[in-house]
Amino acid sequence: MGLLDKEFSDGNIVIARAEDLMNWARLSSIWQLGFGLACCAIEMMATSASHYDFDRFGVIPRNTPRQADAIIISGTVTLKMATRIKRLYEQMPDPKYIISMGSCANCGGPYWEHGYHVLKGIDRVIPVDVYVPGCPPRPEALLEGLLKLQDKIRNESIRKKIA
């Protein structure tokens, strides 16, 4: 990233590209919408708790979409819930990111054939940045997904949203 490689002699000044600085700030404080759906949400909560500690990556749950940067779709999305998720997503300010967690959110999971009430993948409703496979994914997998999202944000450009 090159934040610290051009240090001045007095040590208090660091120069960097504005883009890098913004991306660094953004990826280091991804506030997620406090939102869980099914068994994946249990793993997500475990990831937030002290063993895996989501907070060390700057991820804390916010209880309003208006202050959230990311939403983790953690579980089975029913058709009824999909309309609500879409509204929550639309209430989030840009830039906003979506992690689709687990098979259900990715593609319908075990409900793909006979789930008359299940949306077969959250990407039919809102654009997904990172897909985390698993049923449910272990906390390590979710952390990996978060790191992938951070990589994506790190390479973002001010001119154009790519993540």
Contact residues for another protein, defined by CB under 8 A: 79-80, 82-83, 107-108, 112-113, 116-117, 119-120, 124-125
Q: Which residue number, 57 or 131, has a Cβ lying nearer to another protein?
A: 131
CA 16 – CA 84 distance, rounded (Å) = 41
CB of 73 to another protein, least distance (A): 14
| Shortest spacing between CB 74 and another protein, in angstroms | 19
CA distances from 150 to 12, 70, 146, 162 (A): 27, 11, 6, 13
Nearer to another protein, 99 or 126 (CB): 126
Amino acid at 7: E
Q: Which is nearer to another protein, 46 or 125 (CB)?
A: 125
In the bound complex, what is the minimum distance in angstroms from residue 110's beta carbon to another protein?
Answer: 12
Nearer to another protein, 118 or 163 (CB): 118
Residue 33: is it exposed, middle or buried by C-beta count within 10 angstroms (0-12/13-18/19+)? Answer: buried
CB of 127 to another protein, least distance (A): 14
Report yes or no: 72 and 163 within 8 Å, Cβ to Cβ. no
